[in-house]
Amino acid sequence: MHDFIIIGGGVAGLSAGARLAGLGDVLLVEAEAQLGYHASGRSAALYEADYGAPATVTLARASGEELAEMGVLSRRGFLVVAQAHEEAAFARDCADLRMTRIGPAEAQAMVPILDLDRVAFAAHTDAAQNIDTDLMLQTYARRLRERGGAIRTGARAAAIARDGEGWTVTLDSGEELRARRLVDAAGAWADRVAAMAGLPGIGLTPCRRSIAQLPAPEGHDIRAWPMIFGAGETWYAKPEAGKWLVSPADEDPVEPHDAWADDMVLAEGLARYEEMVTVPVTRVETSWAGLRSFAPDRTLVLGPDPLDPAFIWCAGQGGQGFLSAPGAARVMEEAAGGAPSGFAPAILAALSPARLR
Ligand SMILES: Cc1cc2nc3c(=O)[nH]c(=O)nc-3n(C[C@H](O)[C@H](O)[C@H](O)COP(=O)(O)OP(=O)(O)OC[C@H]3O[C@@H](n4cnc5c(N)ncnc54)[C@H](O)[C@@H]3O)c2cc1C
């Protein structure tokens, strides 16, 4: 009998598992052959602490130090650009993300392909950083194992049954696993896992977000360019390992599945990006999509379900699963009876599944 079975080997399950392994015997099961195959393998890998709902921002700010200690952050910077008719959206972004307004020419000095005939407004912050998401997943997996926990990949939970002592999780191989408490870190599938456990969902909506990988614009060294957002998050672009990633910033609700990019959505997003730059898109090298899963209030859902406290949610990470993970894992530790997270009761209440029951 394990103390915890964690369902899901993305950043949510691994970061929570690394903490919970200090409290008892943890087994993490991941359906796919590799960890981080779904959302956690497809992100834009940015740390921008002021992005998201208030409780998420609190988690993100509290996560910065641990991310830095893990050695996963590196300098990036963040630029918002807007056309003249986008002034209202631009002003909201500046306020939300606490950015400094700069002149269009200053923005162009940072990213020389910006089209000064189009860019009417620009703002910048140095606070945004790259996250080495692979290193982060590996570090959490190593910590989980070092603390005596175990990870099984290719292990899909196919049925879940409750009895007086805890849970029996039946894998699709037929093997049965037992635990006192169950942690639902199944990303887009979290409501489905709850349904298997006989609990109502939390109203999670998986939303597709796509990315096109382009070659670096010819003749430009893009390594030091900041990430660029079209005002109101209508597209974004980011340098990554010598390539230029452009996202339509799509947010289309879908059923949980192994997501892929929709060609039309990608083409429309690339057109929005092209409006703002002087170098046209000539070639998409590859593209992909992942699911960002949101609770109705777009805030993470962390802690025991009031309907059955032996079922612990770790879901609703939306577009902030990496940048909030260290803080979220501390909340999970406290929720499971471990050390206090240090977050105020109002923040814990804003994150608790009880708000959705
Ligand atoms: C395009 C894009 C850009 C993003 N950019 C950023 C960013 O810049 N910064 C940031 O912080 N976040 C970003 N995100 C969000 C981030 O990627 C997610 O919040 C995070 O990866 C969610 O992690 P997770 O562990 O909850 O989900 P997942 O990584 O999807 O993991 C859930 C796992 O559960 C497994 N599972 C499901 N059902 C079962 C079952 N029955 N049995 C066993 N296993 C099961 C799945 O196979 C899956 O591996 C982005 C996401 C996308 C798609």
Task: Report the separation in Å between the CA atom of 38 and the middle of ligand 1, taken as the mean of its atom positions.
Answer: 5
Task: Report the separation in Å between the CA atom of 324 and the middle of ligand 1, taken as the mean of its atom positions.
Answer: 13
**Top mutation candidate among 38, 144, 247 for ligand 1, by most atoms within 8 Å of CB:** 38
pTM of the model: 0.97
Decide whether any atom of ligand 1 lies within 6 Å of the 313 Cβ: no
Q: Would you state the pLDDT for residue 132?
A: 97
For 20, 152, 273, the CA distances from 188, given in Å and listed in that order, are 22, 19, 28
Task: Report the separation in Å between the CA atom of 10 and the middle of ligand 1, taken as the mean of its atom positions.
Answer: 5
3 state SS of 130: strand
Q: Would you state the pLDDT for residue 151?
A: 98
Q: Would you state the pLDDT for residue 97?
A: 87
DSSP 285-310: -EEEEEEEEE-TTSS-EEEEETTEEE
Q: Would you state the pLDDT for residue 51?
A: 82
Decide whether any atom of ligand 1 lies within 6 Å of the 58 Cβ: no
Q: Which domains does the chain have, with CATH numbers?
A: 2-55+132-204+296-356 (3.50.50.60), 78-125+205-294 (3.30.9.10)
Task: Report the separation in Å between the CA atom of 147 and the middle of ligand 1, taken as the mean of its atom positions.
Answer: 23
Q: Would you state the pLDDT for residue 52?
A: 85
Tens digit of each residue's pLDDT (9 = 90 or more) over 335-349: 999 999 999 999 999
Which residue numbers in the chain have pLDDT < 50? none
Q: Show the CA angle centred on residue 250, arms to residues 10 and 238, nearest 5°.
A: 75
| Burial classification of residue 56, based on how many CB atoms lie within 10 Å of its CB (0-12 exposed, 13-18 middle, 19 or more buried) | buried
Q: Would you state the pLDDT for residue 205?
A: 98
β-pair partners for 308 = 305
Tens digit of each residue's pLDDT (9 = 90 or more) over 121-157: 999 999 999 999 999 999 999 999 999 999 999 999 9
Per-residue 3-state assignment (H helix, E strand, C coil) for 20-70: HCCCCCEEEECCCCCCCCCHHHCCCCEECCCCCCHHHHHHHHHHHHHHHHH
